[in-house]
Chains A and B, each alone.
Chain A
Amino acid sequence: MVELLGYIISGLTVGFIYTLVGVGFTVIYNSSGIINFSQGEFVMVGGMSTVFLLYAGIPFGFAFILAIMITSIVGVVLYKLIDFSKDSSEISLIILTLGFAIFLRGLAQLIFDKQLHTMPSFVGEGAFEIAGSVITYQALLIMVVASAIVVGLYLFFKKTKSGQAMMAVSNNKDAAKLMGINTRKILMLNFVISAIIASIGGILLTPITSTNYEVGIMLGLKGFCAAIIGGLGTPFGAVAGGLLLGILESLVAGYISSEYKDAVAFVVLLAILFFMPGGIFGNLKAQRV
């Protein structure tokens, strides 16, 4: 029993990491209906910028804010590209985000380098011990921040005017436009929010996983799985998906074999798509014909 608890605790850390990345997917999907496959790269840009700003001697607080700003600019650039080709089909736009991801990886190799980098944990290297497993302070911080972001997003979408406007744009762009909503501004805001969430994730993750130019690939993929499993479009779905994925992976590694750990994400993904195509929390949207 203690063993089981230990594995669940271990899975929580990874689960919240997936959640933090997955939430970013839901924001852009909510407004534009496209999946942003450069979400993982946003995370990378956030982490790498912070590391290199710290190398340059900039104090932590500033580095943090600057890195978030840099990532936001990257988000705006992606939005501009998508806006430029907005008459294309959603599939084309999704491919555009894939291309943008490859571009960002290349750019990171040129501007930064190909080495691994890390930074010290900013809440100390200590850890809580529970049932033979551990939760590091840094992981705890990730859990708190991820939860705060999810709750914040929920309130934003439900309670604020801008959030409601975003939902309106996502449901019916033309109708929203007729209601006097500036859809382009709303869409851009979404990309910026998504980039900010990703960069915060990148900064928080770096002390745990370390970072390099291609760290975004796997994070993006697992975050995407988390978002799909939970049901694209709801922040709470990303939490459920991320945690489910993290804990399942940990249990499989613990009780079956770590060989099969990476297959879990995709088996669960397939199962969800077969039996609950809208995800755990999602409700199926009417398909546009």
Chain B
Amino acid sequence: MVGKLILRFVVSLFLFISLVQASETIKIGAIVAATGPASFLGDPELKTLQHYVDKINKEGGVNGKQIELIHYDTGANPKKAVTFVKRLINQDKVVAIIGPSTSGETMAIIKFVQRAKIPLMSMAGAVAIIDPVKKYVFKIVATDRMACEKVMEDLKNRSITNLALISGTGGFGKSMRKQCKLVAPKYGIDIVADETYGKKDSDMTSQLLKIKNNKKVQAVLNAGFGQGPAIVTKNYAQLHIKHPLYQSHGVASKKFIEIAGGASEGVKVVAPPVVVADKLSDNFPNKKVALEYKNEYEKAFNSQVSSFGGHAYDALYIVVDAIKRANSLDPRKIRDEIENTKNFEGVDGIVNLSPKDHLGLDTKTGMVLLEIKNGDWELAK
């Protein structure tokens, strides 16, 4: 009697274990700001992640296992990001984490993923996330330093050496201003004027007048996003300043052209390639994947593609490829394989990661220089 009971128990236990194994999934965590002030980042990111996880699962998953995407919405709040990263690590036991959407949140959770030894693939902009390199922290998304470098390359090609900066005082403008000042000497460029404006200022004529009166200035770079750059562009045209005007990747959306109107004609904008995927030349290395992503996103969600969703595409596929190569669910092995990513064709550019470089993008494929002509983007010549 007792023997029978034990037998039953053992059999059912085996059944249970095999059941669990059959339904074992690859748990990937995602922390995005799907709502709140950074929802313009998080919303397309989450949509992209869900869309492509479904697609991978329909095609048979990774190494025969289905992916389970466990995602939390932080509303761009670093405190929530910390709560959720702990939950992903301790309760959900994910093998890798994608996100967060913003730099502040990413910086807040770095120590937790480092301690738990879980690879993190951030979708935020700041250089500080990967410089200095942290073992378990990677990021996609071109940095503001790269945007500066792209502009300076163009200036160098035009033999312009004197640049005026005008930056917003928000986090984005501040960080980019610092990076631009840092890289300028590398390209032999002098920052001859350095103006700022408040995030909600309604007129920048005074600052631009000062730049106009400065005889040394040959070109102007505006670092910022939101309404600021649009007002700068309008005032710039009203004051008839003839120097070339460069805008950062912060305004690389059609909204900017719409708000700045006719004044935006001839303005040069640094942008991630996906914005103009259909206009890239055919030998642009990641044109194919950028265009495919753009078309698929626009079809699936019936809204215009932004560069932000592309970050999620790249983050997901870099992680998935690494899991494939590692053929294991050990986060440490997955981390090693993420670091081994070579020539990954992403929406953001060609990614080559290494122990010294946890970003792996360069200015050739990670950024393109556009010029606004007839109210639309064109590749700058």
Contacts and interface: CB of A to CB of B under 8 A. Distances in A.
A133 B209 contact: yes
B206 A212 contact: no
Interface in B169-221: 169, 195-203, 205-207, 209-210, 212-213
* Chain A residues touching B, majority SS: helix
B202 A14 contact: yes
25 contacts: A3-B213, A6-B213, A14-B202, A17-B202, A120-B261, A125-B262, A127-B238, A132-B212, A132-B239, A133-B205, A208-B202, A208-B231, A209-B202, A209-B231, A210-B227, A212-B227, A215-B200, A218-B200, A218-B201, A219-B202, A250-B205, A253-B210, A258-B195, A258-B197, A258-B210
B228 to A, nearest CB: 10
Nearest to A6: B209
A258 B196 contact: yes
B203 A208 contact: yes
A11 interface: yes
Nearest to A115: B255
Interface string A199-233: 00000010011101011011100000000000000
B197 A13 contact: no
A134 interface: yes
Contact of B203 (A10, A120, A212): A10
B60 interface: no
Contacts, number: 92
B244 interface: no
B28 interface: no
A100 to B, nearest CB: 20
Nearest to B230: A210
Given A116-B259, A258-B207, 9 more contacts: A10-B203, A114-B39, A116-B255, A132-B239, A133-B205, A218-B201, A219-B200, A251-B206, A259-B169
B247 to A, nearest CB: 15
Contacts of B196: 258-259
Given A209-B227, A212-B227, A254 B209 contact: yes
A261 B169 CA distance: 11
Interface in A98-139: 114-118, 120, 125, 127, 132-134, 136
A13 B203 contact: yes
Contacts of A261: 197-198, 206
Contacts of A90: none
A80 B356 CA distance: 64
Given A134-B239, A209-B231, A17 B195 contact: no
A7 interface: yes
A11 B201 CA distance: 12
Given A116-B227, A116-B255, A132 B198 contact: no
Interface of A: 3, 6-7, 10-11, 13-14, 17, 114-118, 120, 125, 127, 132-134, 136, 205, 208-210, 212, 214-215, 217-219, 249-251, 253-254, 258-259, 261-262
- Which 3 A/B pairs are nearest by Cβ-Cβ distance? A218-B200, A10-B205, A209-B202
B206 A249 contact: yes
Contact of A116 (B205, B212, B226, B239): B226
A205 B213 CA distance: 27
A22 B39 CA distance: 33
Contact of B231 (A3, A210, A250, A253): A210
Contacts of A13: 203, 205
A116 B230 contact: yes
A10 B206 contact: yes
Given A205-B202, A208-B203, A132 B209 contact: yes
Nearest to B208: A10
A205 B234 CA distance: 14
Nearest to A212: B227
**Residue of B197, B202, B210 with most chain A CB atoms under a 10 A cut-off:** B202
A262 B357 CA distance: 39
A203 B39 CA distance: 28
Nearest to B207: A258
Contacts of A262: 169, 198
Contacts of B212: 132
A46 to B, nearest CB: 15
Contacts of B198: 218, 261-262
Nearest to A8: B206
Nearest to B167: A258
Interface string B255-280: 10011011000000000000000000
